[in-house]
């Protein structure tokens, strides 16, 4: 069965927010990367210095079973409105489960990123369901 994770999106304050959460909850970041870490295959315009310095992805474990994730918006995605800056992230146990969850939950919704293989070794997609809830579906390929 899939696991559920809250995913917070900020307008440039993600690093400060997650440093606060790290101080409050303790622990260490499992992942911390900035947009400057993202490879550019030449098909997308280069990022501004301000965007490159924003957080692309961060993971902070809280307790034994919860992980809080986050990122910043950037010029390409546009700023988020608070109240619409949280997504429910589902980590599927298989690619088939990811496909099923994505198909069923996104029905009559708005696709913001089709399910696809990513440079970080996952099968990932995003959408807004027909009721306005933001979702992320992820399947991490086994590491070899």
CA distances from 126 to 7, 26, 89, 91, 134 (A): 12, 29, 9, 12, 8
Q: What is the model's pLDDT at position 141?
A: 95
Q: Other CB atoms closer than 10 Å to residue 121's CB: what's the count?
A: 12
* Gyration radius from the chain CA atoms: 15
pLDDT digits (tens, 9 = 90+) for 47-102: 889 999 999 999 999 878 889 999 999 988 889 887 778 898 988 999 999 999 99
Architecture, CATH, for domain 3-140? Roll (3.10)
Distance of alpha carbon 82 from alpha carbon 131, whole angstroms: 17
pLDDT digits (tens, 9 = 90+) for 93-140: 999 999 999 999 899 999 999 999 999 999 999 999 887 889 999 999
Q: What is the model's pLDDT at position 47?
A: 84
Q: What is the model's pLDDT at position 38?
A: 85
Structure tokens of 108?
């009559």
Task: Sketch the domain layout of the chain as residue ranges.
Answer: 3-140
Distance of alpha carbon 85 from alpha carbon 81, whole angstroms: 6
**CB-neighbour burial class of residue 29 (10 A; exposed 0-12, middle 13-18, buried 19+):** middle
């Amino acid at each position: 069965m899939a696991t559920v994770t809250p995913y917070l999106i900020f307008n440039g304050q993600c690093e400060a927010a997650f440093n606060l959460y790290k101080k409050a909850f303790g622990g260490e970041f499992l992942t911390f990367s900035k947009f400057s870490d993202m490879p550019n295959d030449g098909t997308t315009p280069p990022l501004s210095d301000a965007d490159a310095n924003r957080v692309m992805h961060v993971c902070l474990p809280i307790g034994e079973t919860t992980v809080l994730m986050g990122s910043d918006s950037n010029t390409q995605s546009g700023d988020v409105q608070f109240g619409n800056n949280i997504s429910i992230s589902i980590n599927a146990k298989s690619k088939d489960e990811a496909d099923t969850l994505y198909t069923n939950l996104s029905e009559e919704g708005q696709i913001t990123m089709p399910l696809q293989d990513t440079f970080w070794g996952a099968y990932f997609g995003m959408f807004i369901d027909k009721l306005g809830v933001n979702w992320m579906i992820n399947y991490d390929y086994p590491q070899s």
